[in-house]
Chain A
Amino acid sequence: MDFSALSPIALIVSLMVAATPILIAAIGELVVEKSGVLNLGVEGMMIIGAICGFIVAVETGSPWLGFLAAMAGGAAISFIFAVLTQYMLTNQVATGLALTLFGLGFAALLGHSYAGIKPPKFGTLDIPFISDIPVIGPLIFSHDYMIYISLAIVAGVWYFLTRTRGGLVLRAAGENHDAAHALGYKVIRIRIMAILFGGAMAGLGGAYLSLVRVPQWTEGMTAGAGWIALAIVVFASWKPWRIILGAYLFGGITVLQLNLQAAGANIPVAYLSMTPYLVTIIVLVIMSADKKRASLNAPACLGRIFHASS
């Protein structure tokens, strides 16, 4: 086994690429859960975003339009979830599952003639001289644009949730929907907007997979990324900055096991491929073990159905 091929800088850069789809999807889901809604359809919304973004990017030649289309696609499919859970009062767990099953099928249907195509290349930051500085250049100044955007989104969500009135209202709906309703806030409208934002972010994360990370379209390419994003929200204790930590930790493990596979480690590939999922379970266990802390951080109305007249 040859460890010398593993350059730490290349590892860090590729872990950021591996983490970004999950990072974006998780920050969207965090906002949804903060508003008191548990949307388990992240996987479905991500894959819809992956194919919508892919199709539009291939057809127009512009990855930027692809990302926009992915957000629109993710938001559109999350709207089904929003209508069902907010107006038809369906069980959020079951509806989220339905969204995932439907999304996986629908994406495969949309994409069946797009397999094996290369999408247009997405640009990377390239500042003359600065991007060429050793170590700092590749680590900070030469990623693709979406990595910077993803970090900006986290900052934006943090600012919105903790520093603005809108964020306060959204959190109120998540902590106690009856009280928020009594104060005159439109709980359902707030939650629908949160769900749409979550859908758009999941879609964007999915498109990052199909346009930058892989970059290709294959059926079922999200391979559990949406579920891992859900786990990362728990890992982050519903705090925006910790999403970055969780996503990058996960990205690191993914990249490490991929590199071990490539370096020909003396372990069957299948066991290495398990590790990201096993680590997710371990992390979940550690974060949930302290019942008091876990219940303190989770929005109190998470997953509960709100109906004004009852």
Chain B
Amino acid sequence: MFKLERRPSPSNAMVILTPVLAVVLTMIAGGILFAILGKNPFEAIRIIFWDPLFNETVASYTRPQLLVKAAPLITIALGLSFGYRANIWNIGAEGQFIMGAVAGGAVGLAFYPAESVLIFPLMVLAGAAGGFFWAMIPAFLKIKFNANEILVSLMLVYVAINFLGAMVTGPLRSPVGMNFPVSRNFNEYPSAYNGELITNTGLHLGVLVTLAAVIVAYILLKHHIFGFQVRTAGQSPRAAKFSGVNPNITVAICLGISGGLAGMAGLFEVTGPAGKLSTNFPLGYGFTAIIVAFLGRLNPIGILFAGLLMALTYIGGELAQFQLSVPAASIQVFQGMLLFFMLAVDILVNFRIRLAQKEVA
């Protein structure tokens, strides 16, 4: 049988290698899944991972989508990664994403049809605030009443989805939307529209904010006392306490950062790619971002690549759905498997696998 032997120190090579290994294992398992569904596994994998980038006929449409899909995933995952390092589990990013979109969108729509360059920055602020305060609910309840932030933040996702429903059927319903549960279209309102900065690249303001967030997060984590505090709080809460880290403040900051970033991502999404608030607005980015955070090993640079890869599976998944008529859910399975494999191979960082010798009785 195999035996696990703890490494004297975590393997640096494995830190880089394990995500690659997880992706390869997922491709193999995914290939088997597609074979069971009666599709050619090699073709399916090619359509998901290769065609969106390099296929002549579809790439001109799919390449810009990469940035559009990756930006919210990366932004949300960056925020989550701080908390996950400190053992603070915000799994309600989806709700914060929605509340950011609702709050920011509402501010924009309140000014309709006034035009000013100040409106969009104000909306971004409102979006971040919407996500921030939504995340402050689990933070406050955790600090004050010791309530489990995992369950509270998750419950608030369902509350947010219903709140969005109430808004688009009530105060934010478009007066020109023929009574459909949708808000006004943001692309018909220039001051509030988050359009492409360069045509056909998918590059919008949110993508730039994402890149800035990656850099800031990297500096925070590696070169700032806050990064140190987060890491110690996760690895040894007692040691963190002795070094003067207030656990309550860590909870508030970690949830606040992730909520604010998710809210901002929601605002950029609703004013740009989604175009309007509607009950179809939540796409599950907040949940997929959890996978992105782990696949990127909770490291900002890793998350950047993980987000791009996950965006690729979204786009490739849509292509596969279209060309091979595989069910939409198969890509969700694919992403779930990726997280399983990522968690499983993580053991190689801290442990060596040895063939166990027969023990003498």
Assuming the contacts A93-B150, A109-B333, A288-B145, asked whether A101 and B339 have C-beta atoms less than 8 A apart, the reply is yes
A residues 192-241 with Cβ under 8 Å of B? 219, 223-224, 227-228, 230-231, 234
B158 at the interface (CB under 8 A from A): yes
Residues of A within 8 A of B340 (CB): 80, 84, 95, 98, 102
Selected from A84, A105, A223, the residue in CB contact (under 8 A) with B329 is: A105
- Chain A 89-111, CB within 8 Å of chain B: the 1/0 string? 11101110110011111111100
* Residues of B close to A40: CB separation below 8 A: 150
Contact of B294 with A90 in the complex, beta carbons under 8 Å = no
B150: chain A residues at CB < 8 Å are 40, 93
How many residues of A sit at the interface, in one of the four size bands? Answer: 35 or more
Among listed A66-74, A125-133, A267-275, interface-contacting one: A267-275
Whether A108 touches B327, Cβ cut-off 8 Å, given contacts A101-B336, A270-B163, A273-B162, is: yes
Which residues of B (131-170) have their CB < 8 Å from a CB of A? 141, 145-148, 150-152, 154-159, 162-163, 165-166, 169-170
Out of B162, B333, B344, name the residue touching A102 (CB < 8 Å): B333
Q: Assess whether A112 is interfacial by the CB under 8 Å rule.
A: yes
Q: Assess whether B145 is in contact with A109, with CB atoms less than 8 Å apart.
A: no
Partner of A281, one of B155, B169, B328, B337: B155
Contact residue among A89, A91, A98, A105 (Cβ-Cβ distance under 8 Å from B332): A105
When each residue 288-307 of chain A gets 1 if its CB lies under 8 Å from chain B and 0 otherwise, what string results?
11010010000000000001
**Taking the complex as formed, is A5 at the interface, i.e. its CB lies under 8 A from any CB of chain B?**
no
- Counting CB contacts under 8 A, is A76 at the interface? no
Interface size class of B (residues with CB under 8 A): 35 or more
Interface of chain B residues 1 through 24 with chain A (CB within 8 A) = 4, 6
Min Cβ gap B180→A in Å is 15
B-chain residues with CB within 8 Å of residue A223 when the two chains form the complex:
158
User: A278 an interface residue at 8 Å Cβ cutoff?
Assistant: yes
Of the candidates A88, A90, A284, the one whose C-beta lies within 8 Å of that of B148 is: A284
A266 at the interface (CB under 8 A from B): no
* Residue contact A234 to B163, C-beta cutoff 8 Å: no
CA separation between A273 and B146, bound complex, in Å? 26
Q: B324 interface residue, CB < 8 Å from A?
A: no
Within 8 A of B (CB), among A104-152: 104-109, 112
Q: Which of A95, A107, A288 contacts B146 (CB under 8 A)? A: A288
In the bound complex, CA of A48 to CA of B343 (Å):
21
Given contacts A108-B327, A274-B162, A288-B146, contact A101 B332 (CB under 8 A): yes
- B255 within 8 Å of A by Cβ? no
Q: Which of B154, B166, B339 has the most CB of A within 10 A?
A: B154
Chain A residues contacting B351 (CB-CB under 8 Å) are 89
Q: Which residue of A lies closest to B84 (CB)?
A: A94
Whether B163 pairs with A274 at a CB distance below 8 angstroms is: yes
CB pair A271–B162 under 8 Å, yes or no, is yes
Inter-chain CA distance A307–B3, complex, in Å, is 11
Q: Separation in Å of the A134 CB from the closest CB of chain B?
A: 38
17 contacts between A and B (CB under 8 A): A88-B343, A88-B347, A89-B347, A98-B336, A102-B340, A104-B332, A104-B336, A106-B333, A106-B336, A109-B329, A219-B329, A224-B158, A270-B165, A274-B163, A281-B141, A288-B148, A294-B146
